[in-house]
Amino acid sequence: MSSEELSLRHQARAAGGLYLLIIVLAGFAEGFVRSRMIVAGDPAATAAGILAAPGLFRLGFLADLTAFLADAALAVLLYLLLRPAGPALALLALVFRLLAHPAIASLNLLHHLAALRILDGVSPLQGFSSLQRQQLALFALDLHGSGYLIAGAFFGVHCALLAWLLVRSERFPSILGFLLGLSAVGYLFECGAVFVAPGLAPIARVLVGVTAAVGEGALCLFLLIRGIRSPADPVPGG
């Protein structure tokens, strides 16, 4: 194995490690913290859940922020690994990933933080009633959910570009590209469905959950276990 290939494998495994970290942290923040505390349409129950475990709510904020910081590094590593398959496309994929999470989703965390500060009754909200603060907190979390979807639209475009690069790349099996392409469809469909056809939102959430788990999970595992495909590996079948 050449020194260049060894270096690429190290980069790929570092990317896989970051991807796994992001999946765990973001899954904890969204799937464990917010999903347990936010009760749609019920400001009082949501407020009670947050105030019962404010430390956990803050930990969800920190987990998300750490994941988005890691995503900036992952975006650069994926660009370096896939640049030979198409420099312009790889750069475009890098930009969309940086916009999706390190930029949009990170700023969107202000809504997460705002919900807790509103419930704490910080100035200038000290004159607000408890019910008003509860309603404002739930509204902030609704905005956070919408911001998450907007970031998801950018991430869906990133996944589509990354899928095409993976299909073209000699360093990865093309099946990863097809699976990530399904993830792209899931993210973009969820964003469109929630904003344009809310009745389809439950189906969209299931679709994005399954396609993201399969597509991104497969890429993460390949990066961790194999790193990159050896030039000696057979190409037919991806």
- What total number of domains does the chain contain? 1
Residue 187 lies in a domain: yes
pLDDT score of 62 more than 60: yes
Q: Which amino acid appears at position 35 of this protein?
A: S
Check the CA dihedral 97-208-27-9 and report its sign: negative
Residue 135 lies in a domain: yes
Domain holding 19, by residue range, is 3-225
Residue 39 lies in a domain: yes
Which among 63, 68, 145, 162 has a CA at the least distance from the CA of 111? 145
pLDDT in the model for residue 87: 96
pLDDT in the model for residue 236: 43
pLDDT score of 237 more than 90: no
pLDDT score of 204 more than 60: yes
Residue 235 lies in a domain: no
Residue 197 lies in a domain: yes
Residue 176 lies in a domain: yes
Residue 156 lies in a domain: yes
The 10s digit of each residue's pLDDT in 211-225 is 999 999 999 999 999
Banded pLDDT at 238 (limits 50, 70, 90): very low
Helices (H) and strands (E) in the chain — how many of each?
Answer: 9, 0
In this prediction the pTM is: 0.90
* Rounded CA separation 21/162 (Å): 19
Which among 224, 227, 237, 190 has a CA at the least distance from the CA of 210? 190
pLDDT score of 67 more than 90: yes
* Rounded CA separation 2/60 (Å): 42
Residue 230 lies in a domain: no
Q: What is the mean pLDDT of residues 54-71?
A: 97
